[in-house]
Chains A and B, each alone.
Chain A
């Protein structure tokens, strides 16, 4: 019997374990190995260079800039998504009718691909000529057309980048908040009302937000990790056949060009990837400690 169990274990787990090893762990280890070699145009390098790639990467202004870009992006997108999706959840939660309808409507963008959304934002909403949607609206008020993605002063491209992601992900986090809201015991609100707390800001501040603590921690953590992994919308909004502009270039986009562009410096790219992975690990662990991830709402 136990032998048969073992057989079934491998039948079900085997393919996935194999896939995980083949497509995740092997490339991971390989990439770390590559980072210690001069690997131009090869994945089986022979010229060991020690930590040269790491020092080159850390001294590279463009890479350091890309880390700063990531920080700026996080500073915009995390609070914006948090506030926006929480507001949506609070509004939907108060609905007496058609709640399912609005829940679905707000969630729907989460099903859209980043690439498709980025192209719509780039080609029709925020293109730089007079017939783009944003410029048409500006035109009604007598404004001149703005080249949203090409203007660096003021940096209008951030508006495009942040709004596309906000639109795409707010619905998903709204669902998380809704689940959290529905777990709050209504008795708490009744007690608050009896104690004279006015509905609105006071109740939100002293009942809803503390009760949502665990959900909030999870949401912020996911948002930060997602921001670190930013690639799709940046690449599709700003790249062209000749490359990528030197602004709004997050680390993954920069490494993509270093390692997989025509430069094919796979060693340097791998070193950058390892540095980035370490940064993500440190930030995530630090954040989890600081926010006390794993405590339940009841402990909060």
Chain B
């Protein structure tokens, strides 16, 4: 009998242990608790590569006094993580998002933030505010503007007798001439460019992903002609493929694996440090008579989850950090990686953006920047990306591939318009 009671105790203890173990990881609390009293808010960021960024956002959160903000720094597939977390009540209250997507807005997963920008709306760069606006309401506050551009090594181009390319044909030729047994001409990411280029070549041909009146923007023979040229880069073996790091990291360029690389503005401080003056930046070159150079711009936006238990407190915090505290915004944009402040007034003041390649980059973003339209849905995007990959790598007929994509994207546009 005594032995059984001992076992009972043991079993009960083990059972209780199991149950508590299940409940411990709620995604709340833990490291990075900010100061302040009032309600508890949890704020999510994706993992920025530049050192110091994480400490900076912890510092901002700790400086907020009206709520207790705990910051979560989330490595890995951030978009998937937030999408899953928004389905439940245990997700973040405030989170940055490469969006919000149209489905998140239409599904009521994020809160209307229009009133936060009262009086300062015009100070936010319209290029990145527009894709966060739907039905006249604003669903995410742009934090900083990111852009992508083409980096090239001046010395390598000079040695090969190549001018910085200004047309797509010149880019294809330059990449071929710059390719040797040790160095490749161009790096567009390990997948050959389908992922990172996205709609950029279409804008380079004077087209768009979705037109302003909500139609497919590349139902045009010029689209197939331009995308078909990208296959030449692959067929000529001018593209660096299978590098240890991907396009977002400038290592391939810095290690001399490639002469030109498509990457982000955020990489500029590192490139400048390693290469000094031996580099320049270019937009994606134009193609065809209607073409114009293009660079993609985008912004992570701060959004508030509709399932937050304290939506008003969360909105107030977002307003404090991303609207009122311009000092934090400036620090966040410019002290770590390089980003363009989303506020026009801050971007104009930023001394770091006034000279050298950084100034070129800012000029490119204002003259040639395009942002992915809100109506460009993930389902349309993946159909387009699959097609682009087949065009680049397998030499599939761009004409036929694009016809299928146009059908898919039209269906998606119909679907989202029906919901509004």
- Indicate which residue in A41, A61, A126, A262 contacts B109 across the interface (CB closer than 8 Å): A41
Indicate if A264 sits at the interface (CB-CB under 8 A): yes
Interface residues of A in 131-159 (CB under 8 A from B): 132, 144, 147-153
- Tell me, yes or no, whether B18 is within 8 Å of chain A by CB: yes
Residues of A within 8 A of B192 (CB): 150
In the complex, A144 Cα to B184 Cα: how many Å?
12
Which A-B residue pairs are the 4 nearest by beta carbons? A128-B242, A242-B195, A147-B241, A150-B241
In chain A, residues 185-240, which have Cβ atoms closer than 8 Å to a Cβ of chain B? 240
Q: A128-B240, A264-B103 are in contact. List 14 more A-B contacts (CB 8 A).
A: A11-B15, A15-B18, A41-B107, A61-B404, A129-B244, A147-B241, A149-B242, A153-B394, A240-B190, A245-B386, A262-B83, A262-B99, A262-B101, A264-B83
B377 at the interface (CB under 8 A from A): yes
| A97-137, CB < 8 A from B | 123, 126-130, 132
Q: Which residue of the partner chain, among B103, B181, B246, contacts A40 with CB atoms under 8 Å?
A: B103
How far does the alpha carbon of A216 sit from the alpha carbon of B194 in the complex, in Å?
A: 43
A residues engaging B (CB < 8 A)? 11-12, 15, 40-43, 61-62, 123, 126-130, 132, 144, 147-153, 240-243, 245-247, 257, 260-265
Number of B residues whose C-beta is below 8 Å from A?
46
Say whether B167 faces chain A, with CB atoms less than 8 Å apart.
no
Given the known inter-chain contacts A41-B109, A261-B378, please indicate yes or no for A246 contacting B390, CB distance below 8 A: yes
The answer for the CA separation of A149 and B189 in the assembled complex, in Å, is 12
Instruction: Provide the bound-state CA to CA distance between A250 and B84, in Å.
Output: 22
**0/1 string, B13-27, CB within 8 A of A gives 1:** 001001000000000
Main secondary structure of the interface of A (DSSP, over half): loop
Question: Which of B15, B79, B386, B389 is A15 in contact with, Cβ under 8 Å?
Answer: B15
Assuming A245-B389, A257-B382, A263-B378, is B244 touching A240 (CB within 8 A)?
no
Report the nearest B residue to A149, measured CB to CB: B242
Contact B242 A11 (CB under 8 A): no
| CB pair A261 B242 closer than 8 Å | no
CB-defined contacts of B394 to chain A, threshold 8 Å: 152-153
Q: A149 vs B389: C-alpha distance in the bound complex, in angstroms? A: 13
CA distance A127 to B390 in the complex (A): 21
Interface bits B214-226 vs A (CB < 8 Å: 1, else 0)? 0000000000000
Residues in B neighbouring A123, C-beta threshold 8 A: 244
Contact A150 B191 (CB under 8 A): yes
CB distance from A182 to the nearest CB of B (A): 38
- CA–CA, A76 and B246, complex, Å: 29
Give A246 to B379 CA distance when docked, in angstroms: 14
Contact of B243 among A11, A129, A245, A257 (CB under 8 A): A129
B385 CB-CB contact with A under 8 Å: yes
CB distance from A124 to the nearest CB of B (A): 9
Chain A residues lying within 8 Å of B243, measured Cβ to Cβ, are 127-129
Q: List, in ascending order, chain B residues with CB within 8 A of A243's CB.
A: 195, 382, 385
Closest to B101 in A: A262
Chain B residues with CB under 8 Å of A40's CB are 103, 106-107
Instruction: Determine the distance from Cα of A42 to Cα of B104 in the docked complex, in whole angstroms.
Output: 9
Within B142-186, which residues are at the interface with A (CB < 8 Å)?
A: 181-182
CB proximity of A68 to chain B, nearest CB, Å = 15
User: Which residues 67-94 in B have Cβ within 8 Å of A in the complex?
Assistant: 79-80, 83-84, 86-87
Asked if residues B182 and A130 are in contact (CB atoms below 8 Å), the reply is: yes
B254 contacts the other chain (Cβ, under 8 Å)?
no
Looking at the assembled complex, report how far the CB atom of A231 sits from the nearest CB atom of chain B, in whole angstroms: 14
Interface string of B226-259 (1 = CB under 8 A from A): 0000000000000011111010100000000100
Q: What separation, in Å, do the CA atoms of A260 and B378 have in the docked complex? A: 11
Question: How far is the CB of A259 from the nearest CB of chain B, in Å?
Answer: 10
Q: Is B59 an interface residue (CB 8 A)?
A: no
Contacts A15-B15, A123-B244, A261-B378 given; does A149 touch B83 at CB 8 Å: no
* B18 touching A241, Cβ below 8 Å: no
B106 cross-chain contacts in A, Cβ below 8 A: 40
Instruction: Please measure, in the bound complex, the distance between the C-alpha atom of A265 and the C-alpha atom of B386, giving whole angstroms.
Output: 18
Smallest CB gap from A131: residue in B: B244
Q: Does B393 contact A (CB under 8 A)?
A: yes
Contacts of A263 in B (CB 8 A): 103, 377-379, 382
* Partner pick for A242 among B15, B181, B191, CB 8 A cutoff: B191
Q: Note all chain B residues with C-beta closer than 8 A to A149.
A: 190, 241-242
Inside 8 A of B248's CB, which chain A residues have their CB?
241
A127 pairs with B382, CB closer than 8 A: no
Query: For the complex, is B359 an interface residue (Cβ under 8 Å from A)?
Result: no
Chain A residues whose C-beta falls within 8 Å of the C-beta of B181 in the assembled complex = 144
Tell me the bound Cα distance from A265 to B383 in angstroms.
Answer: 14
Query: Closest CB-CB distance, B79 to chain A, in whole Å?
Result: 5
The chain B residue sitting closest to A42, CB to CB, is B107
Among the listed A144, A241, A246, which residue makes an inter-chain contact with B386, where contact means beta carbons less than 8 Å apart?
A: A246
CA distance A263 to B408 in the complex (A): 14
A262: chain B residues within 8 A (beta carbon): 79-80, 83, 99, 101, 378
Alpha-carbon gap, A123 to B190, bound state (A): 12
Whether the Cβ atoms of B241 and A128 lie closer than 8 Å is: yes
Contact of A260 among B83, B190, B195 (CB under 8 A): B83
CB-CB < 8 A to A12: which residues of B? Answer: 11
Contact at B87–A41, with CB atoms within 8 Å?
A: yes
Q: How far is the CA of A127 from the CA of B18 in the complex (A)?
A: 43
- Contact between B103 and A150, CB atoms less than 8 A apart: no
